[in-house]
Structure formats: structure tokens, C-alpha cells
Amino acid sequence: MSGRAGAGVVRGLRRGPIAGAGDVLTERVRPEALPPAADFLDPAVPPPGCLAALGRLGFRDPAGALANLRRLAETPDVRDQLAPLLPRLLHHLGATADPDMALNNLERLAAAVLDRRGFYTLLAGHPEAIPVLTTLVACSQFLADALVRSPQTVPWLLDPRVMQARSGEAMHAEVAAACRPFRTEEARLNALRRVKRRELCRIGLRDVLGDADLVTTTEELSELADACLAQAWAIVEPALHARYGRPGHGAADGHRAATGFAVIALGKHGGAELNYSSDIDLCFVYEAEGETDGPEVVSSRTYFARLAEQLVGALTAMTEEGTVYRVDLRLRPEGSGGPLALPLDAYRAYHATRGALWERQALIKARVAAGDERVGQAFLDLVREIVYRPGQEREALGEIRAMKNRIDRRLRARGQQERHVKLGVGGIRDIEFHVQALQLLYGGQDPWLRERNSLRALHRLAERGYLSWEESGRLAHAYVFLRTIEHRLQILHALQTHTLPADPDELAKLARRLGYAGDREAAARTFLLDYDRTRRTVRAAFEGFFDAPGREAPEAPPWDAATVAAVGFADPERARQNLRLLWEGPALVAVPGAVRAALRTLLRATLDALATVPDPDAALDALERFVATAGPRTAYLARLAEVPALLGGVLTFFTRSERLAQTLISRPELLDTLGPAAGAAPRSAPRLREAFGAFPVPGADDADRLRLFKQREELEIAWRDLVLGEEPIRVAWALGELAEACLGLAWERAMAAARAALGEPLIAGRPVPALVVGMGKLGGRELDYGSDLDLVVLYGGLGETGPEAHVFFDRVVDHLYMLLTAITRTGQAFRVDLRLRQGGKATALAHSLETLDRYLGEEAALWERQALVRARPILGDPALARRFMKLRCARVFGPGLSDAERAEIHRVRTRMELELGREGPGRVHLKFGAGGLVDVEFLVQVLQLTHGARHGRLRTASTRVALARLGTLGILPEATAGRLSEAYEFLRRLLRSLRLRQARPADCLPLTGHVLARLAREAGLDGGRALLARHREVAEFVRAEYRRVMQAAGGEA
Amino acid sequence: MKKIEAIIKPFKLDDVKEALTEIGVIGMTVMEVRGFGRQKGHTELYRGSEYTIDFLPKVKVELVVADSLVSKVVETIIAAAKTGSIGDGKVFVLPVEEAVRIRTGERGEDAI
């Protein structure tokens, strides 16, 4: 979702084929009801029958239409050629929004083509030629004019490769290629105009046919403008270089550096939401003052002013091929009076002192349209500073409202306040101002909101809770509706029309072009109803936001200084700020009385509860974010306020885990599943899989359902763990069961998908058996929050019929991997690691048991054998699982461990310590460091490998269990085994607490600060020093035992 | 003297005309033709409708130039007509034995 976040909603707004409105009209006159085709074309036939038929077809001027038809076929041979096409042609013409206009344009086009016979052959031979052309020339006069001007564009538009969405890159390449063959500036400028016109036809045609939605169309129009800009620049700059040389400035190191230049798009062009006839709003920026290097030396200021001037000239000049764009430069500092191009510093200085709010507001949409990326980025960085500065709230709201009031007054004076789609009351500008005001208010603290595209900005505002999803959705629909109207108005004549036509007939045509069905009056009426409803919705939202009463003076907060002081915040100032945010909070969405009351209760309860949690500062921080995201929804607030156990739990939760707090913050509805009810016992994998069946999420696919399900379950486990204090062993078990359940669900789906795609490999009529083996923590039942799943997938036999087994299971594993690991809008289910399979990364994703057997016997490295100590079948064919366990017993434990092998394991361990642990002063690595968790694991595994052949009970995948058994079997002194177990649990607990906090660097013990203090408190120790001392003691003991084991049989360590 | 016949994609006509004008070639004959080369025979999907590629619309540009200009003209046409995709067309060069300007009776290169 990164660059194009919000695309989900945006795509959701895709409208049906707008001009396809004709489809509902096609029944009006059946072809067989027409007089013979020849009658329409033969001037000798008296007209009455034809005129009546044309009238029935929907022509307003049947006599004009008949004259046009006869002009299409003035000679007998052409008449014979056209006659068979005529019924279809009339049928499609009648289906358009304006049959008279369409036929008129078609006649002009037929007169303009090189060879009319060729044109009719094309209409006859290409199945879509007639519907496509009639729709286009009925919807857009200016595109029809473009076709008449270059009739050779018609076959191009009928090429399937042309009628597709085009990337910005393709557009740039196309425009550049079109200008490349020419040498003179004049010829290049002409070529630029031709290619722009052609592209416009393509984009417009896809638009009126409904092949492209509003978002795609406006994006492509913006990309076309970018490409034309870049090309205009390439055309004009060589002459400037020849005359003045290149501009440069003194760089920091004293050398002369080339001065970069960028073209910044603002307005609709900036937002990538350009219309057909929008002006493009531009401003120009260069890196720094300096001068050119000659022949003729001029200041950079002069050079770039010339460049800007010529660039604009190249776009706006009227040549024999017309112009490219109208350019508006008034958004630059000082407006029309200011210099065309300015250095970065000048923009900074201007906005620091003189820039008005509306100028900053315009910069929200700034985008680099062409030029030097470095300079463009520097400009955007500057824009962020300028636009999103803190503390402009009240000022901004008042000014924006006042600006809109002025617009309203002006339109009222002209009597256009209702019919002006863009500026009218409830028009496009209302939505834009509403969005931009919210961005100015909150974009400072939340970079996610700094989005220049209006639709995406609406989506993001909802994501962050500044608009409710309902309101954001309503506004997005209204925006698309209004922009589509604007679009249809403008595509007609390419004029900057924003006003609905007053003439009822024109209004009816507009309605038909927008896809409203029925006769003219009905279409116009329904359209006006929709239009008025939309405007009212927009204006209501606008007023609700800008004119909400009571915002200036919120009620007195429900707490006093003494209560706050009594909590004992470490940072009272920040705490007060958080409390204020909670109270006034998302207040710019007007806070209803019920919410206010709930907040009052909640805040009192919170202050009481905070006094009892270990880290009130962090808890309050997280609570503020939670409430801000959940929005002023009374239900959540009331629930929290009314159930003290829930509130206390949530606060504890927030202090213990950043990670899980994030989950709850992004999905506040999960609050419903928590609380005392979550005390129910953890569920086994089969139970969980049953529960998944009854876990409907409307509109979500399997991958998303799986993620949402996993998050919910994990949250419950964490709640029992952190809030209700469940035993660690039960928590670990629950996490393992959850992982196995998800794995099972994903496996079933991956198998089904592969079966559907490939069929299934069979042996003796039965499916080839398969097995999923858990390795690492999954194998050892030691999973933690957020652990990777280490997997190996095996199958038994090659299969006799159906797809080859290795192809099939490769596909299964690939799909399984995607289902679990892909990051979708709902996040990621698990990270999965397949690198422990035989041969590692470079080999197939799944292997047969037979090849594994051979591999272990012949090539496997020692570490691969060692990794299999922690292997455990998770799901799949039971017989295959037994065979795998037998093989593991023989291949992994059978050979025992030689001294050389023990030394090899020690060498690997030493490398891990040096390369991954990297301990030193100030860095203690709990996992890879000296005496870390891996010491315990390796020590245990060495003993398992050494003695596993004799003692079956040692062949467990679990480090915990193996440690205990090493003690019972007397391989380790029982006391030592016990102390090692304690050390192991101690290290695990510390690691887990750190991971829940997402501390960085990962797995390192912080040596000072509040995180250390909290870890100590959770470990029941008195302060950070005590914890550090305890850790040192544990690590030294572990390291000593590790050395003892490594040396025991003569291995040097 | 040579006759140059270029079969090009229709939408490239204006570019070819402009490019030829740029190098000083003014007169030419243009006609719409239909033909096929390697593109024929297969079917394509256009907005969901299938149709068979048969004769495709092309434009033929014909001009007669002095021998000294031939390679320049051919290169210019190729540069202007090329899109790089299938169906860009072909250029043929044919010998011309004689040219006569009807109005004046001029002959040879003077007549072109």
C-alpha cells in the first residue's frame, strides 16, 4: 500500500461504463423496423419515411441527419459499400447521448480521411470500430475535432495494444520518441503537439468507454503533462546551453557545482488529478544562485528565468499544430509580479515571512513534475517544513472558512452557487478545503496525512480517525461524482466549464453522457436529484467541520492538578498534554454529548487506574493513541469506562507491549473480545481451526481472514499472559497451537490451490503423501510472539500419474509461503523461514523423503544435521511422519558425535558470537553473546547428538525437555541441569519482554534507562543494577557449563 | 532518379511529412492502402471482442528524388515512421527511367 496507499478505496469507487448508457437505449428501435438502408443514402428517394425513422432513433434534427447520411455516400460505389453497414451505424448512433452531434462529427471525419472507401472498410472489418467511434464523437467535440485534424489516428485507436492503460514511463518514452526524429525546434514543437493530441484521444476514448475510471484517467492525463513538460524542456534547453553555457554555483567544498533545476506541479496537476482542460499550475526552482560558464555569462537567476520562460513558451505557443497546455504560474511567490524561477532559499525566506496561508495550502499538492530529483526532493522537504508547521490550527481553520465564504459570496452574486460544480456550495472546492484543513491541522504530527491526491488523502484521514469511515466514504463518492461531471462538461469542448448547462436539452445530454438512463427529461431529473443530494452531503460535512459549535471553549477538564500529581508520572508535562488530547482530542470532529460524558467517566477512571500500573507514562501515551484511532465512538469509550478490569488491563497491556498495543490500536474492535471473558482456557490447534470456520469477515479473502484471525487470537493469548498472568508454559503452548492451526489452514488452502491449478500427483491411485516439519522454535515448541516459523516440507515418492511431485509441492509451498508471509492491508500472519531445508536457499522448496535420506547420508553439512535435532512433524501424512522420525533417528542421532564434529560445532558457535553477537563494552547480546541462549541450546544439542543413539528419550525436539532428561539420565549432574533450566527460562523471559517492546537493537539488553528498569520490575528484581548483576551471574554460569561440555571429550574450547 | 515507396502506419503520416519537409523534400503522393505482412492471420482481442487480423490499414507515401538524395530520404522516413513494434512498414527504392513535368516539358531531375 506504500506509494499508492488508499488505492483500495479509490478502486472501490470505479464506476460503470459511463457512456455505455447507450446499452439501455438500444431496444428503442430495432434494426428491422427501419426503412431499407439504401433509402437513407439515395438522394432520389423522398425523405418522409426516413425522417420519421430518424426521429424515432432519437435524432432531434432528422432533416439534418438525413442530409449528413447522404453526404457520407455521394457516389454510387461508396453508397453500395456503406449500405450494409448502415443499420448497425444508425443503431449505435441512436444509442449515444447526442445522435445529431455524433453523426455530424462522423460526416466531418469521413470527409477528412484520405480515402473514404478505406475508412468504410475499416468500419466494416473491425468489430468495435462503429461503437467506439460513435461514442467518442458523441461525447467529446474536441476529441472529434482532434480526429478530424489527424484522421490517421483512427486506426491507431483501434489497435488493441494502444487501448490499454499506459505507465508514466511508457508515456515519457512515447513522447520522447515522437519528437526525436526532428532537428529543428519548430518541427519538434509540432511533433510534441501531435503526440499530445493523439494521447489525449487515447485517454479520452478509454474514459468515455468506461475502460478507465476517474482515477486512472486523471492520473494518465497528469503523466501525459509530465512527459510533455520533460520533452519541452529537452527541446528548449540546448539553445540556452549554446548561448550561455551551464549554470553553476560554489559548492560546500569550494568547487563549482552544476546547478540543478526542477519543475514543480501544483494544483490538480500536482495531485495527479488533471482534467482534460485544466491549466497546469507550475513553479520553477533551482538549487542556488550562481552564474553560467559562457560563452555569454549571465547570472543563474537570468538563466533560469529564460529557461522557465522558454519552457512555458514551448507549451503554450500556438503553432500550426495548436498548443500543448495553458500554464498558470500565479501560485509562485509574489504571484504574477514575482520572478518565474527562484532558488530554494528564496522559497524558504518568502514563506517564513510573507507567504499567506492559502499559498501554503496550495503547496500541499506540490509534486516534482520534471527535472533534477535532488533539487525536487529538497524542495519537497522544504514544503514539509513550510506547510506542516505546528501551531497553526485555529488560524488555519478561520482563514480557510473565510476564504470559502468569499467564494460563496462571489458565486451568489453571479447566481451560480448551485450550478457551479467546482466552486459552488457543496462543490469540489468544499471537499478540497475540508481535506486540506485537516491535513494542515494534523499533517504536522502525522506524516501519513501528507498526501497530495484528494481521494487518497480522504482515505488516510479515515485511517487515522480524523474522519469517520462513513464520512470519508461519502466525501470520496461525492468527489468522484462531481469530478466526473466536471470531466464530462470539459471533455465536450475542452473548455474550462464548471457550470451545469441551463438549457434543459443540454442538461439532458449531460445526464445521458453521465450514464443516466431513460428519456431526456427523466435522465435530467434523476441526475439533478443526485446532484443536489451530493451537494447537500458535502456542504453538511463542510459545515459540520468548520462551524462546529463549542470548539473554541471545551468544557473544563474532569481532573485537577492534585489527581495528576498523585499518579506519579515521570514526565508530568507530557502526561498533561496527553490528558488534554484525550479530552479535547479528535474534537475537530464535533464531539457529541454522549461521547463527552463517556470521556469524562473514562478519564476519571483512567487516572485511578494509572496509579496502579507499572509505567503510567507509557500507558497514557498508548491510551491516547488508542482513543484517537478508535475515534469518538461511544461504545468503546463507555465499555472502557464501565469495566474497571478492562481499563486496567488495557493500560497494563499497553505498558508491557508496544507490539500488541499496535494491534489493538489499529483494530479497536478487538477490544470486544478482551476483558474478563478472555479468561477462557487457551485452545488447541484443532479447536482453533474449527473456530476459524466460524470467523466470517465480509469482503476479506483467505489471506486477510487468516491474518485477522491470527491477530485476534494472539491478542487474547497476550491478554491472558500479560494481564491475567497466565503461566509461561501455557502461553508458549497456546502460541504454538495458534501457529500450527494457521499453518494447517494455510496448508489446506495451498494444497487446494495447487490441485486446482495442476491436478494432484498420485501413487497407486492415492495422493502422494506429504509432511510439514517444524524446525527451530516451532519444532521445539518454544514459539514466542512474532517468532519466525522454520519449516521443511517433505513428500513421499515421486507419483505415477498427474503432475510431477516436485513441481506440485513446489507450487504448494510457494503458495503456503505467500499465504502466511505476504504483507497485505491487514499485515502479515507469520514470517516463514524455509532455509533449513536440505541444500538451503538454492534448492527446490520441497523434497522427497528419499532425497533427504540420501542427502543426509552423503552431502549434508554438520549444521544441517544439528538443525534436525529440533525437527518435529507438524501436519501431514502420519505414515510419512513415522518414516521421517525413523530417518531422523538414524541419520541425526545414529552416527553419534566425533571430537572433530564437536569442534566444528564449537567453531560455528564462535563465529555466531563474533559476527552476530558482537558483544563489547555497552553491548550485551542475550541470544548470541557469551553465555547467551544459544550457548544453552548448543550445549544441549551436542549432548543430544552424542548420547541420542543410546537414549531414545534424548531425541526430543524441545530444549527444555532435553535439559530435564539430561539431568534424569545423569549425563549432566541433576543440579547443573536444574540451574541450566533456570538460566534458560531467565534468558527467554528477558528476550520475550524485549521483543514485546520491540526494543532496538533487537535482543540486546539495555544497560541503562527506563526499559532496563521495567525489565527489572517484571523480573521481580529491585532496579536495573540488580538485573544486570543477575544476568552477569547467569551468563557466566552458562558459559562455564558450555565450555565444560565442549571440552568433555577432548574438544578444545 | 529513384522512386521511393514507403508503406507506413497511418498515424505516422504527419511525422513523415514533417520530417521530409525538414530536409527540403516537398512533393509527395499519399494514398491509403491495405495490406498485410507478418501480422496477418492471427486473431487479437480488442476490448474483449476477438477479430482476425486481415488487411490492415496503411498509408503509402511515394516520391521520386535525385539519386544523391535517396539515402537521406530513406533514413528520414525510417526515423520518422519507426515505432519499434510489429507493422512499422517497409521502404522500397525503385529505379526511374524518366520524368517529365507536363506543364513545361522539363525532363529528368529538373522535372521532379
> Could you write out the DSSP letters of every residue in A287-334?
S---EE-SSS--BHHHHHHHHHHHHHHHHH--BTTB-S--EE-TTSTT
CB contact (8 A) between residue B32 and residue A113 = yes
Q: Tell me: pLDDT of A590 over 60.
A: no
What is the pLDDT confidence band of residue A629, given thresholds at 50, 70 and 90?
low
Q: Residues 4..23 of B with a Cβ closer than 8 Å to A: which?
A: 9-15, 18-19, 21-22
Round to whole Å and give the CA distance between A928 and A509: 74
Using one digit for the tens of pLDDT, what is the confidence trace for A273-318?
Answer: 898 877 899 999 999 999 999 899 999 999 999 999 999 999 998 8
Cell of A121: 472498410
Least confident of A115-119, A142-146, A641-645, A1026-1030: A641-645
What is the pLDDT confidence band of residue A439, given thresholds at 50, 70 and 90?
confident
pLDDT (0 to 100) of residue A513? 84
Query: Residue A269: which of A329, A321, A209 has the closest Cα?
Result: A329
A88 touches chain B (CB under 8 A): no
Q: Report which of residues A474 and A21 the model is more confident about.
A: A474
Yes or no: say if A590 and A544 are a contact pair by the CB < 8 Å rule.
yes
Chain B residue with minimum CA distance to A158: B46
Suggest the residue from A159, A202, A205, A321 to mutate for an interface test with chain B (most B CBs closer than 10 A). A159
Buried-exposed string B20-30: b where 16+ CB fall within 10 A, e elsewhere: bebeebeebeb
Identify the sign of the CA torsion A333, A335, A337, A342.
positive
- List chain B residues with CB under 8 Å of A113: 32
Mean pLDDT of A866-878: 93
- List chain B residues with CB under 8 Å of A132: 47
A118 touches chain B (CB under 8 A): yes
pLDDT (0 to 100) of residue A584? 66
pLDDT (0 to 100) of residue A390? 63
Mean pLDDT of A967-986: 94
pLDDT more than 90, % of chain B: 57
Mean pLDDT of A833-845: 75
Amino acid at A357: L
Chain A residue with minimum CA distance to B45: A160
CB contact (8 A) between residue A122 and residue B57 = yes
Q: Tell me: pLDDT of A593 over 80.
A: no
pLDDT (0 to 100) of residue A834? 85
pLDDT more than 90, % of chain A: 34
- The DSSP output letter for A680 is S
Mean pLDDT of A915-941: 90
Which residues fall within 8 angstroms of residue A898, CB to CB, at 6 or more apart? Answer: none
Query: Given B10, B51, B80, which is nearest A155 (Cβ)?
Result: B10
Q: Reduced to 3 states, what is the DSSP secondary structure of residue A471?
A: helix
Q: Residues 152..191 of A with a Cβ closer than 8 Å to B: which?
A: 152-156, 158-161, 163, 177-178, 180-184, 187, 190-191
B54 touches chain A (CB under 8 A): yes
- List chain A residues with CB under 8 Å of B20: none
Q: To the nearest whole angstrom, how far is the Cα of A279 from the nearest Cα of chain B? A: 27
- List chain B residues with CB under 8 Å of A161: 85
CB contact (8 A) between residue B22 and residue A161 = no
Q: Tell me: pLDDT of A4 over 50.
A: no
Cell of A202: 487515447
Please give the model's pTM, rounded to 2 decimal places. 0.59
What is the pLDDT confidence band of residue A369, given thresholds at 50, 70 and 90?
very high
Round to whole Å and give the CA distance between A263 and A372: 8
Look up the ipTM and state it. 0.88
What is the pLDDT confidence band of residue A644, given thresholds at 50, 70 and 90?
confident
Q: Tell me: pLDDT of A733 over 50.
A: yes
Chain B residue with minimum CA distance to A149: B14
Least confident of A671-680, A927-936, B19-28: A671-680
Using one digit for the tens of pLDDT, what is the confidence trace for A478-515?
Answer: 999 999 898 888 887 766 778 888 888 888 888 888 88
Mean pLDDT of A651-664: 79
pLDDT (0 to 100) of residue A47? 76
CB contact (8 A) between residue B10 and residue A183 = no
Q: Tell me: pLDDT of A986 over 50.
A: yes
- List chain B residues with CB under 8 Å of A114: 30-32, 59
Mean pLDDT of A440-465: 83
Give the long-range contacts of residues A820-828, CB within 8 A, separation 24 or more. Answer: A820/A706, A820/A742, A820/A743, A820/A746, A820/A789, A822/A703, A824/A703, A824/A704, A824/A707, A825/A1, A825/A8, A825/A704, A826/A700, A826/A704, A826/A707, A826/A708, A826/A711, A827/A707, A827/A711, A828/A707
B75 touches chain A (CB under 8 A): no
pLDDT (0 to 100) of residue A675? 65
Using one digit for the tens of pLDDT, what is the confidence trace for A151-209?
Answer: 999 999 998 888 888 888 999 999 999 999 998 999 999 999 999 999 999 999 998 88
Question: Average pLDDT, whole number, for chain A?
Answer: 84
Mean pLDDT comparison of A393-402, A575-584, A586-595, A975-984, highest-scoring range: A975-984
Query: Residue A446: which of A433, A459, A460 has the closest Cα?
Result: A460
Using one digit for the tens of pLDDT, what is the confidence trace for A62-73?
Answer: 989 998 988 888
